[in-house]
A and B are shown apart, each in its own frame.
Chain A
């Protein structure tokens, strides 16, 4: 175990130097980077906000099933199936039909089925039906139909969340999908997430609807911004989809902040026609079911440009413009988890983390020298090498360092010497029975090998499981702990062993105490 071929020694030190070089990349000048790699600081160290958002697609499913009513009725009529008692029950349709067999055949046809399309990816139809009574059936979305709705809503939500956050202009935001219903948002450096939460909490579905007493399309009674009760037609003249831009502006006459918007070609046409036909009437601007304002249509607006006023402050106008620019969210988003760390707490955490690392490190080093003298120095050299390599690997992986991650490094320092302690203690035992010092060292390394490996694999298992199940900062702990074990094995079994062999082989004829 003490013989190293030249090539082995070369490989060991080259590997060590190569990885160590990476650890120094973290100290590069920001503007003049040799290789763009460094350890990222977690939100708990640099300060910032973490938000976990959840979509709720129930409303969307209700809307979607309603949109199926007319196509299904048409399908039944076209195929001569008589139906009665057609009703919508939240996310289900219930109806009574006379020809059950025929309905099943048509409804589940795979060819050109517009009403109930076949989703190839899932090998399933969008809708499914079941018989609940004699001739009564219940139609609802199939498991995969629901999944499709959910997934497209989630994708769309992520896109819009990204647009809104980019628009606010926070630095380096992270926006990721988490599971089937959630979106993770990390905003480094953000001290107060309330504004972003408010902006993400609004779906921002904008509709232009006439104020009317005509009940033809049905109407909603809504309260206007001035507290009037108004009947608003359910017919949507134009929606936010047709908006291509929105900007806050100040109306010159009375310095009132407003939002001016620009419509696309289709929107301009729709808006132009509606305002031409309804001059003198009032047009309600409805955002998420609430009236923003309901101004009079004084003249036709055909330019495709318009303005929304509604007693805004400038901030409100800015936010509304941002929401309209970024588009509507398909479903409301709920903040299910939120963690914000202020920058000064982050700084304090770094300071106390680094202090405890240095102190822990010095204590362990002193103890090892006291305990093992020259071999303590070897163990300490291995420990320093270990630390450099650990930081190097973290840099190569561009891992995120968290406060528990720093704790993981300190713990690695404490536990890393274990490998060398195991080996040294074994050598001590061998020295008692073995006359040749070289043989004793050789046997010590050989016999301790299995134990060192076994002992470290157990901690590695814990680290891997922690990584798989942990979240955020805890993952950072698992990473440093896990990588620490690997660098520990390398430094103890290659680096320290080679140094030991140098000491032993150069002092062949002297007495060596350990």
Chain B
């Protein structure tokens, strides 16, 4: 078993966490999130055309007067991604763009992906994404409340907020696109981080019952150390899988796997340095769990 003194670093870690959390909140509020067409509405076209430059595509599209158009390289050479913001009255927008590119680019154009999301649908997708994340947080809160005590429940939820907000903060900082798959990643992060927290909480509860004389900081420290090997090994295997997707899984899964990689790292950190120290502030002791036992077993 490892024997690091985690509890000595709790204070510094807390300051670090709070700083990151607040910075992320500020970024999300003021810089905002870079919503993809799933949530903002608009049109996306992925195309493959060898011997073509971004500028030539841009110039052709400029003549169409489409408003806000974004053209960039996408993955390998010759692959491009075009994004056009929703203007409302572009009924024949897609065929217009396709024809114009097919006719004006010098080499053959292969339209690999075309997506168009109307303003009503994108608003609904955003709404259901927010509901899904809120609901999953609520469900976790409830589950931990049933399985543990309320102090643990609050502690784990704070850790989850920490993970979700900081992950989104980093996405905001790097202007990475938020789309449906990022919502999926965030929800998986919620599940993963919770999983990690529960393992440590389980041990804390067990040790609270075993060692009445130790205070909560020492119990937390002991429990974190006891479970540390598992925490690290599971993070490693999960990260191995995720890096494999990130590097080999193609351009479409890149954002998703990047969010998950961030989430796993932040989630592992938060189980140790956020979820556990919080119990101290709630003055959790062996009495907390004893009371609970009395209530359950009449």
B50 CB to nearest A CB, Å: 14
CB-defined contacts of A478 to chain B, threshold 8 Å: 184
Given A52-B121, A353-B250, A469-B129, check contact A454 B187 (CB 8 Å): no
B109 CB to nearest A CB, Å: 11
Q: Contact at B237–A418, with CB atoms within 8 Å?
A: yes
Q: Which of A411-427 contact B (CB under 8 A)?
A: 411, 413-415, 417-418, 421-422, 425
The proximity string for B residues 202-213 relative to A, scoring 1 for CB distances below 8 Å and 0 otherwise, is 110010000000
Cα distance, A418 to B195, chains bound together (Å) = 10
B104 beta carbon closer than 8 Å to chain A: no
Q: Which of B80-134 contact A (CB under 8 A)?
A: 94-95, 110-118, 120-121, 125, 128-129, 131-132
Given A425-B227, A454-B198, check contact A341 B112 (CB 8 Å): yes
Q: Contact at A403–B129, with CB atoms within 8 Å?
A: no
Q: Which of A312-352 contact B (CB under 8 A)?
A: 334-342, 344-345, 348-349, 352
Nearest residue (CB) in B for A456 is: B195
Cα distance, A355 to B198, chains bound together (Å) = 33
Q: Contact at A429–B226, with CB atoms within 8 Å?
A: yes
CB-defined contacts of A429 to chain B, threshold 8 Å: 1, 226
A12 beta carbon closer than 8 Å to chain B: no
**Which of A348, A417, A474 meets B234, CB within 8 Å?**
A417
Q: Contact at B181–A473, with CB atoms within 8 Å?
A: yes
A109 CB to nearest B CB, Å: 40
A142 beta carbon closer than 8 Å to chain B: no
Q: Contact at A451–B236, with CB atoms within 8 Å?
A: no
Q: Contact at A465–B136, with CB atoms within 8 Å?
A: yes
What is the number of residues of chain A that contact chain B, defined by CB distance less than 8 Å? 70
**Which of B192, B227, B241 meets A459, CB within 8 Å?**
B192
Q: Contact at A474–B112, with CB atoms within 8 Å?
A: no
Q: Contact at A461–B139, with CB atoms within 8 Å?
A: yes
A200 CB to nearest B CB, Å: 13
Q: Contact at A465–B132, with CB atoms within 8 Å?
A: yes
A67 CB to nearest B CB, Å: 29
Q: Contact at B111–A342, with CB atoms within 8 Å?
A: yes
A279 beta carbon closer than 8 Å to chain B: no
Cα distance, A337 to B118, chains bound together (Å) = 6
Cα distance, A342 to B114, chains bound together (Å) = 8
The proximity string for B residues 135-176 relative to A, scoring 1 for CB distances below 8 Å and 0 otherwise, is 110011001000100000000000000000000000000000
A450 beta carbon closer than 8 Å to chain B: yes
Nearest residue (CB) in B for A337 is: B121
Q: Contact at A421–B257, with CB atoms within 8 Å?
A: no
Given A337-B118, A458-B140, A469-B132, 6 new contacts (CB under 8 A): A336-B117, A407-B253, A422-B199, A425-B233, A454-B198, A459-B188
Interface residues in chain A, defined as those with a beta carbon under 8 Å from any beta carbon in chain B: 44, 52, 54, 192, 194, 334-342, 344-345, 348-349, 352-353, 355-357, 359-360, 363-364, 367-368, 371, 403-404, 406-407, 410-411, 413-415, 417-418, 421-422, 425, 428-429, 447, 450-451, 454-463, 465-466, 468-471, 473-474, 477-478, 481
